[in-house]
Structures are given as structure tokens and as C-alpha cells.
Amino acid sequence: QVSYVKMFFCRCHPKSDEGATCPARQTSLLRLGTTEAWALQVFHLLLLAYLVREGAGGDSGQFHHVGSGAVHILKQGGDGNAPSGLIGILEGHTAAVYTLTISPEGCLVTGATDRSIAIWNVSWERFLGKDPLTTKHKPIRRLQGHDAGVTALAFVKKNVNDGMPSGLLASGGADNATKIWDVQAATALLSLPHPKTVFGIATHPEGGEIGTASWDGVIRFFTLPTGMKRGELSGHDAGLYSVAYSPLDSSLLASASADRTVRIWDVKQMQLLWTLKSHRDHVTTVEWSPLDPFTLASGGWDR
């Protein structure tokens, strides 16, 4: 059985006024069952990070937004143990949560405008039989190293020939840097400079490389574990929010931009293939289908 759920989240402009209503609220339609690690390791828990506006104000680097930094864990579909809905609240950030990702092993990682990255155990046993409103859940580990808000997260896929340890995490920030972390050691291994905020990170399906989306409108490719820059792709007329490799053809990469376009690139030939212009405002996210070649979804400010 395949089911779907809508996930709402906020990607605020880095220079938005404090307390302003975020115009970048967007919707993604998630298809459950297409990512085996989610189903097996987190027992169909769907994770939703959003701003709790009644909380303390968050002010980090270029970011100005109101939020308490809470992460809400929701369960899709009732069963004999618990009904659908809220099953837990993770409290570990002091400002708004901006990005999250899940490891292949089912570990949740969140990044916030308090400049920190938090690692969480979200196994089902931690929530079963507990009051979701009164039970306190804290992170099992914290990564500190960014000098401004954390805006992007992605686990690095290991290539058997690249010599990298497993459990590496890539993070982007408003400090104009992408960092590569050894999660177990809670240590930053590399810091890769950019001219502006890094809003998106994509990991190559075969491992050994990441691509970054920066607010200067340029896509950059870095080889791991050395961190050497392999090349750049430019052509967008405004900043970038998101990049994504095709899981079915690793030579294809999609990028989403404030210039209202999605662009498809050949990353082997390093050239532009197509420009998609259906959006009427900033395009803030893009993702490929894991099942259908040349099929992708995008979302933006035009709702």
C-alpha cells in the first residue's frame, strides 16, 4: 500500500525582517514506501520541523525570525499502539529550525538559526506510551561550528573506493560555508567556502561528490574526501535554493532558483540542458522521482 502525506515548511529569505510573515511557505507531497530506510528504521514516522512563533526570538547571522526551535514528530496512519497525529516534541534548539534530514539508518538531524546541528534518536520505542506534550526529548549529540544559521543538511553517500568513513554529514550555512562532519566524532573535517549563503546540498547517488546551491546563483561541485572543487555551473539570474541529482541518472542535476526557473544540467559535460519556466515566483525546492526517469517535482512561493 502506498500512501501520501503533505509536509509544510518554511524557507525564509535570509534577510527577511524579524517577525515578518514568511512568504516562502511551501508544500511537498511525500510518497511513503519509496525510501526503504524510512519505512524500516523509523517505522513510518513522518518528521515535520516548523516554527513555533510564540517562542523566543531567534537571531543568528543573517537570519531574523521568531521561533522556539521545536521539532514535532508525527505518525501517519493509526495502529494498535497509537493513533495518527503528534507523538513527540523534540526540544534542543534555541531558535527556529530551518532544515532537517534523515540518515539511511533512521537518525534525524536538524539544523537551526541558533547555528547548531542536533542529532536525535527517533526510534519508535522512545515515544511509545508517553505523553507527547509533557515528555521532554533531547538530542543525543550536537555539532557546533557554523558562525551563522544552518540552512542545509545532507548525508554523504559512501563510495567504496573513496576512502571516506561512514556517517559523514554535509551542512550549509548563512556563514557562507559548507562543512563536512564526522557525526560520531562530532568533528568538522572540511570547511568549503562560498561567496554567499548555502541553501541546498545534494549528494551524488554513487558517492564521492556533493553539489551545493548558493545564493550567488552558482552551483559548485566538490570531490570527497579531499574537498577539492571539481567545477561550477552558472546560468541562473538569481540565488539558488535547492539542487538534486537524479537517482536514476547521476549525470543529471536539477536546480531551483529565485529567478523562477528550474534548470536541468548535464554534470558530466557541465552544460545546461533545459530551463523550466512554469513558476510565477521563487522556486524553493526540487526533487526527482525515484521511479520515473525525467520526472521531477518543484515547489515555490507561488504556492
* pTM for the full predicted model: 0.75
Answer whether 115's CB lies under 8 Å from 51's CB.
no
**3-class SS at 40?**
helix
Q: Is residue 79 packed enough to be buried (19+ CB in 10 Å), middle (13-18) or exposed (0-12)?
A: exposed
Cα–chain-centroid distance for residue 268?
24
Of 227, 161, 222, 218, the C-alpha closest to 195 is: 218
Going by C-alpha positions, the residue among 218, 221, 179, 188 that lies closest to residue 202 is 221
Calpha distance 178→198 (Å, rounded) = 7
DSSP string of 102-145? E-TTS-EEEEETTSEEEEE---GGGTTTS-TTT--B--SEEEE-
Per-residue tens of pLDDT for the chain, all 303 residues: 333 333 333 444 443 333 333 433 333 444 444 444 333 333 333 333 333 222 323 333 333 333 567 888 777 665 555 556 787 888 889 899 999 999 888 889 999 999 999 999 888 777 777 888 788 888 989 999 999 999 999 999 876 565 556 678 999 999 999 999 999 899 999 999 999 999 999 999 999 999 999 999 999 999 998 999 999 999 999 999 999 999 999 999 999 999 999 999 999 999 999 999 999 999 999 999 999 989 999 999 998
State the burial class of residue 78 (Cβ atoms within 10 Å of its Cβ: 0-12, 13-18, 19+).
Answer: exposed
Task: Provide the residue count of the chain.
Answer: 303
